[in-house]
Amino acid sequence: MDLITSIVRAVMHYRVRAIRRYATDYENIQRKTLRRLVRQASGTSWGKQYGYDSIRSYADYAEHVPVNNYSSIKPYVIRMMEGEPDVLWPGLIPFFAKSSGTTSDTFKFIPVSRQGLKHCHLMGGKDVTATFIDTHPNSHAGLGYSLVLAGECEPIKPGSGIIAGDISSIMSKAIPGFFRRMLHLIPPAGMLESIHDYKDRQETISPYIAGKRLVSFSGLPGWNLPLLQKTVQMMGKQNAEQLWPHMEMFAHGGCSISPYKPIIEKLFPSGSLVCIENYNASEGFFGVQTDSNDPSMMLMLDYQVFYEFIPMKEYGRTDARVLPLWEVDTDEDYAIIITTSSGLWRYEIGDVIRFVRKKPYKFIFVGRTALTLNICSEKLSIRQADLAIEQACRTTGCIVREYTVAPDSETYNNNSFHQWLVEFDKEPDNIRKFASVLQDCVEQVDYNYMRMMESGSINPLQIIKARPGLFYDWLESKGKLGGQHKVPRLSQSRKLIEELLSMN
């Protein structure tokens, strides 16, 4: 064991012990979190409006405060972005995470307080490192560099001191200097601040990391993996292991890793790279995969986030139950509701998870409340689509870079089908065979889809091959290159796929 990694392990072991307490102290942690958040915000405009001074329990909180979404808090956000203090959270909110707007063309600006940044977003990054080093005794992470590929942020108005941009960039700017030095985080703070074009950013980072001893990297697979591919090609290597033989970990989030596994296997053919999933959104850092042999993530309970859940079988109903953590069940899908130290109160973030274990609470990401494909009750989810793509790639030996799926038309009948627009990194030998294999894979992962096929209610899927770089060009046209931005996998509308087809 090298000395540096030993020191990092010793320094961070207190977090490992705290996370282990989730298994027995979960309800107490969550109740204390809610009491503290309500008490701190009692003097804010929101707190006064909803009578926070009289809230003494979770039952009081659920009775006083309605479930909210971005539309309901947007007027408050505008006031905070103009510099008004004590609106949703005490004091001035200095950061606003610019959401990628997965379900719409518009951006959302999510408030991020200094307290929320420190005790939620940055705590998640620390815990990824702490749990990885704790569970991998042969790690030498302290002897190399860690690549953190962040997006951009800038002042809302010159001299305002209020910054808006990708949460990855806001986090990167806020990482303490000693922590950045201890883990050898790259690129250096400020290296890319004056470079706004994403292609230029790649051109700058690629030669910089080529000569570094990289041991880990983190971020969205759709942005990190192309950068590694470009660098490997630039250096004339066959794979990433030849360039970075000490690489240990990829901490990824924002979308499923499943479609990207063939790319990772090509870059790291020995299988030594450990992929750790984390659940870090613009609204907060909520989950960490604490065991690389278990694909589920631990729900992080002491990040100053109070969690509630709506059963998806009741979602959208006026009488839908809203449950605290200690009342959820395993193997049921839930929409997540959060209350945070950045002033999000009973806020619906639009994500769906499924608990696979309790005490401690572990979950998998299922998809978005607004992103499913449903022509005739097949209810195809993002998770199912990702799994089907992964299985089809393994069977046919091809590699998919990006894809999106939509119904064939806005009106449905027995001749309707799912239309898949797919960009390949390595094309299949026969596109019709790939479509047939993918069809079988979708039926395997989605029982409802299989039943609809058997009844003749839906026709076999269709594959349209996307030209190289199509999805990148679409993101560029929307001003969504880099950072947390991604192309929606599924859409009930044809608007997105028609835009992409027009550029194809």
List residues bridging with 336 in a β-sheet: 309
Mean pLDDT of 436-454: 88
When pLDDT is cut at 50, 70 and 90, the band that residue 296 belongs to is very high
Residue 121 pLDDT: 94
Taking the C-alpha atoms of residue 452 and residue 112, their distance in angstroms, rounded to an integer, is 44
The chain-wide mean pLDDT, for the chain, equals 90
* Type of residue numbered 251: A
Residue 11 pLDDT: 76
Residue 105 pLDDT: 45
Residue 483 pLDDT: 59
pTM of the model: 0.82
Complete domains list, the chain, with CATH: 116-153+165-288 (3.40.50), 382-503 (3.30.300)
Taking the C-alpha atoms of residue 83 and residue 72, their distance in angstroms, rounded to an integer, is 19
Q: What is the pLDDT of residues 473-500, one digit of tens each?
A: 998 888 776 656 678 888 888 999 999 9
Residue 278 pLDDT: 94
Among candidates 481, 385, 504, which has minimal Cα distance to 441? 385
Percent of the chain with pLDDT over 90: 62
Does position 50 have pLDDT exceeding 50, yes or no? yes
When pLDDT is cut at 50, 70 and 90, the band that residue 103 belongs to is very low
Taking the C-alpha atoms of residue 104 and residue 422, their distance in angstroms, rounded to an integer, is 21
Among candidates 162, 193, 174, which has minimal Cα distance to 96? 162
When pLDDT is cut at 50, 70 and 90, the band that residue 462 belongs to is very high
Contact 186, 145 (CB under 8 A): yes
Please tell me whether residue 374 adopts helix, strand or coil conformation. Answer: coil
Please tell me whether residue 60 adopts helix, strand or coil conformation. Answer: helix
Taking the C-alpha atoms of residue 36 and residue 34, their distance in angstroms, rounded to an integer, is 5
Residue 74 pLDDT: 94
Q: What is the pLDDT of residues 348-362, one digit of tens each?
A: 998 999 999 999 999
